Amino acid sequence: MAYLAVGIQKPLSTIHLTLSLSIIVLIMLIAGYKINKESFAVNLELNFNNSYKFTVLLPLIFPFLAVLGTYVMGHFGSNLLLLFLIFLIAAYIMILAYLKNNISGNTYPIALLMISISLLFVHSLTSNYILGRDVYSEYFAFQMVLKNLSWNIANYRSVLTACLSSSLLPTIYGVLLNINSPYIFKLVYPLLFSITPLAVFSISKKYLNNQYAFFAALYFVFQLPFIDESQSMMRQIIAMVLFSLALMIFLEKELVNRNNGKIIFILLMFGVVVSHYTSAYIFLILFSILFLFNYVKFGLFRDIKTNLSLTLIILMFVFIFFWYSQLNASFNSTIVVINDTFKNLINFFDIEARDQSVLITMGQGISNIAEMIRIYTYDLTFIFIALGAIYSFFKCRKKLDSEFTILGIVCIALIVSFAVLPYINSKYGNARLFLQVTVIIAPFLVIGLIATAKKIKLKHVSYLILPLLLLQLFNVTFVTDQLLGIHTSVDLNNNGDRYNEFYIHDSEVSSARWLFNENKERSEVYSTNTSIYAPYKIYSDYFGTKRLSWGYLYNVHYFSFTFDSINASLIPNQEYYVYLWNYNTEKNEIYYRSFNKLEQGNLGIYGYLFKNSEKIYDNGFSDIYYHRGE
């Protein structure tokens, strides 16, 4: 904003950005030195005995195996190296459990970081292009800021622009690193996200020993949203990093009681707000309820002590309200969702009113045995988490601080509420909520398993924890599906519905770019004035829109329409293009939605689209047809 005030129109250009960041870093270094003179030096001591050397060097190869494995899978169609990596990680975890008395505590964070990075790379580097659903809109917001080299909500008035994690932050990395834009999301963001398990480890270590804290952090890593959806939620990735760091500082009493600790916590809190609105709402709910428990003080909650103040809660609410109501209407949309949730309470006992993901966790609509194993493992871990929270509250209140226990119970209550309340779970997926609160509840899984081991008089708790964690690992990487002959994973296969949806081929992008280059002038005029009708239409199947978005900087939804949205009676008079991607041309089939369900059908269903149309592009894998209109 300062640059714009003095007439500089591109404050995110390399020279201005470098100057700004250099000044900020210099100011922070001076402030850090003034505040922490005694602890300003870094003292890193590592004890390299034979066992430690082996256990710390082995995981360093995991990310390299992930990169090499995705290359081999993409170019030669062999998943053997990726499968080897996953089984190697499983074996390594068992080795650490066996050598627990012979390794340094420094091994665990290094192992955790390498495991996290490698599993994230296995998914993010599968294709040359971004994977996921929401990420395409986030990528568009990023490209708009990068194109203008200036963050301005007026350029693209959307909640995605207001979320700095999907607009400003990737632009900063893109300008400084000068790498292809997709790799900001595919490479840089996974590296940032890998910090979160370290925060979970740090939080867990306050209440558990090093090995158990490592197991708790692994449980966070072995979540489906952490790996499989990591490329679909760029806003939440950054919000999760900041949320976990804020929570780590908040639970560290000696740090948060000091002024500099409070300042860092507030800055991280604001960072969560400007990164992702829903994560900010959950943050606000958790800490508001914790403050109420501290304020009311009754019964078993009488001894709760917290550093939260009413001023901090109000400050967070005001900032959320200002950021997401003044810049865009997302705050108003949240109010509508809450209102509609209460209206839909009349459907509380209607199972069909729940989202499909919630019904599956309840055992309904499970399509195969691999999915059944995955869901029942998830349900089992949640039972142990609830058991751990209850056990902690009644049996370990002196060992665990009351704030942490109450936050855990509130998190479990939130998960249950999202599952049982109709409507709201269709607006925000339970899986993403679960991943955020797992930062808090992961230790309770281990506590619940420890309590169970004591009850059944099992000497080694690892005998309970390891099988559950390894099964979770194989579930979220879809190795279980693979061993059962079910091709679910887009990372381990080159066929199947998920592969067809997410994997983008170079030939498909080439055809999309050719199409938009042919219509560049008409497209740019329309994209700057969307109140007029689109100058032409592009018809494709349900997954074709993702391919088309790679051909054009502006929002492809202005031009692209799916086959199932066609009004057949208007077709003869329209000017339009038909875009066919690899699957359409190879199988002569399409994907479409019918009654909110994804279906496959023969391309001949829409044969009338090709009547009086000519093929104007064919690269051997992707075709484009043109209809001039009558």
Tokens matching residue 229: 């959806």
Q: What is the CA radius of gyration of the chain?
A: 26
> What gap in Å lies between CA 352 and CA 422, rounded to an integer?
9
Question: How confident is the model at residue 396, as a pLDDT?
Answer: 66
> How far is 267 from 258, CA to CA, in rounded Å?
14
Nearest to 127 by CA among 513, 623, 509, 432: 509
Hey, which residues does 562 pair with through a beta bridge?
540
Contacts 24+ apart (CB under 8 A), 173-176: 174/142, 174/146, 175/12, 175/13, 175/14, 175/17, 175/146, 175/149, 176/14, 176/17, 176/18, 176/21
**Model-level pTM?**
0.89
Query: Along the chain (630 residues), what's the average pLDDT of each consecutive run of 10 residues?
Result: 66 87 86 66 55 82 96 92 96 92 86 96 91 84 88 81 90 92 93 95 92 95 88 88 92 71 87 89 88 69 70 87 69 55 50 56 71 88 90 71 83 81 62 87 93 87 91 94 90 89 90 81 47 65 83 56 69 81 91 79 85 89 85
Q: Using CA atoms, how far apart are residues 273 and 444, in angstroms rounded to an integer? A: 27
- Spell out the SS3 assignment of 274-333: HHCHHHHHHHHHHHHHHHHHHHHCCHHHCCCCCCCCHHHHHHHHHHHHHHHHHCCCHHHH
